[in-house]
Amino acid sequence: MLAITFKRTDHRTIDYLEAEELRTLLEQIDRRTVWGRRDYVLLALMFNTGARVQEVVTLQTNDLRLSHHPA
């Protein structure tokens, strides 16, 4: 196992997206379809809240509040 060589790469790991990159990504989604609207909402939710994939996956409908209650 120690004799296996690692592949070398010139590509850097993408740690985050710049605002313009994210905007471009969101613009590519076809929001005229049900799946496109779903994808757009999921990506926008993750970006705007900083939620991780697992946090979004475990969301349930009772976690969503559609009305604003003043404090």
Sign, CA dihedral 38-41-43-49, equals negative
In the numeric block, which tokens belong to residue 1?
A: 């196992």
Q: Measuring CA to CA, which residue among 40, 34, 41, 36 is closest to residue 59?
A: 41
Alpha helices in 1-71 (DSSP H): 19-27, 34-49, 53-57
**What pLDDT, on a 0 to 100 scale, did the predictor assign at position 40?**
95
pTM: 0.64
How do residues 9-68 score in pLDDT, each as one tens digit? 677 776 778 889 989 999 999 999 999 999 999 999 998 888 888 999 999 988 887 787
In the numeric block, which tokens belong to residue 37?
A: 């609207």
